[in-house]
Structure 1
Amino acid sequence: MNNLDSYPPILRQQNNQQQNPYEPNDTIEDSDPIPTIDLKCLEHKNLDEACKEWGLFRLINHGVPITLLEQLQDLTKQLFSLSFESKQEACNESPIKYFWGTPALTPSGTAITKGPQNINWVEGFDVPLCQLSNFQHQLPSLESIRLLLMEYATHLLRIATTLFEAMVKNLELNLKTTKPYLSENNGNIRVYRYPPTDVGWGMEVHTDSSVLSILNPDDHVSGLQVLKDDQWLTVKPVSNTLVVTLGDMMQAISSDRYKSVSHRVKVEKDIERISLCYFVFPGEDVVIESNKYKPFTYNEFRAQVQQDIKTLGNKVGLSRFQKKQG
Structure 2
Amino acid sequence: MSEILNLKSYPPVFRQQNTGLDNTTKEIQEVINDDAVPVLDFQCLNLDELGEACKDWGLFRLVNHGIPVTLMSQLRDHARNLLSLTFQSKQELFTSPVSYFWGTPALTPTGASLSIGPHNINWVEGFNAPLSQLSQFHGGNPVLDWFRFLLEEYGRHLARLATTIFGAMAKNLNLDAEKSKSYLSESTGFIRVYRYPQCSRESEAWGMNVHTDSSVLSILNQDQVGGLQVLKDDKWLHVKPIPNSLIFNLGDMMQAMSDDQYTSVKHRVKVNKDEERFSICYFVFPAEGSVIQSSKYKPFTYSDFQSQVQQDVKTLGFKVGLERFKLNVTEAAG
Give the alignment's TM-score, normalised by structure 1. Answer: 0.94
Asked if 1:206 is matched to 2:208, the reply is no
CA distance 1:138–1:196, change in 2 (3 Å): farther
1:72 and 1:148 in contact (8 A); partners too? yes
2:251 and 2:264 in contact (8 A); partners too? yes
Q: Give the superposition deviation at 1:146.
A: 1.1
1:102 and 1:111 in contact (8 A); partners too? no
Asked if 1:262 is matched to 2:266, the reply is yes
Deviations 1:216-266 (A, max 9, x none): 111x21110000000000000000000000000000000000000000000
CA distance 1:259–1:276, change in 2 (3 Å): same
1:207 and 1:262 in contact (8 A); partners too? yes
Q: Give the superposition deviation at 1:269.
A: 0.7
CA distance in 1 between counterparts of 2:181 and 2:253 reads 14
CA distance in 1 between counterparts of 2:25 and 2:264 reads 27
1:102 and 1:113 in contact (8 A); partners too? no
Q: Note the residue ranges of structure 2 that are not aligned, 5 or more in a row.
A: none
Of 136, 139, 143, the residue aligned with 2:138 is: 136
Of 49, 53, 56, the residue aligned with 2:52 is: 49
CA distance in 2 between counterparts of 1:235 and 1:277 reads 15
1:3 and 1:81 in contact (8 A); partners too? yes
- Residue 79 of structure 2 is matched in structure 1 by 76
Give the alignment's TM-score, normalised by structure 2. Answer: 0.91
CA distance in 2 between counterparts of 1:112 and 1:26 reads 35
- Residue 17 of structure 1 is matched in structure 2 by 22
Of 311, 316, 324, the residue aligned with 1:312 is: 316
CA distance in 2 between counterparts of 1:66 and 1:85 reads 32
2:192 aligns to what SS in structure 1?
A: strand
Q: Give, as a single letter, the amino acid of the residue that structure 1 aligns with 2:166.
A: F
Asked if 1:65 is matched to 2:68, the reply is yes
Deviations 1:95-125 (A, max 9, x none): 111111112248xxx5594742401100011
Q: Give the superposition deviation at 1:136.
A: 2.8
Q: Give the superposition deviation at 1:139.
A: 5.0
- Residue 7 of structure 1 is matched in structure 2 by 10
Asked if 1:217 is matched to 2:218, the reply is no
Greater mean alpha carbon deviation, residues 176-185 or residues 235-244: 176-185
Asked if 1:233 is matched to 2:237, the reply is yes
CA distance 1:101–1:185, change in 2 (3 Å): same
- Residue 161 of structure 2 is matched in structure 1 by 159
Q: Give, as a single letter, the amino acid of the residue that structure 2 aligns with 1:77.
A: R
CA distance in 2 between counterparts of 1:17 and 1:254 reads 43
Aligned-CA RMSD value: 1.7
1:102 and 1:112 in contact (8 A); partners too? no
Q: Give the superposition deviation at 1:10.
A: 1.1
CA distance in 1 between counterparts of 2:9 and 2:209 reads 23
Q: Give, as a single letter, the amino acid of the residue that structure 1 aligns with 2:216.
A: V
Q: Give, as a single letter, the amino acid of the residue that structure 2 aligns with 1:209.
A: S
1:215 and 1:243 in contact (8 A); partners too? yes
- Residue 187 of structure 2 is matched in structure 1 by 185
Q: Give, as a single letter, the amino acid of the residue that structure 2 aligns with 1:212.
A: L
1:246 and 1:260 in contact (8 A); partners too? yes
CA distance in 2 between counterparts of 1:101 and 1:144 reads 26
CA distance 1:21–1:215, change in 2 (3 Å): farther
CA distance 1:28–1:98, change in 2 (3 Å): same
1:287 aligns to what SS in structure 2?
A: coil
1:104 and 1:112 in contact (8 A); partners too? no
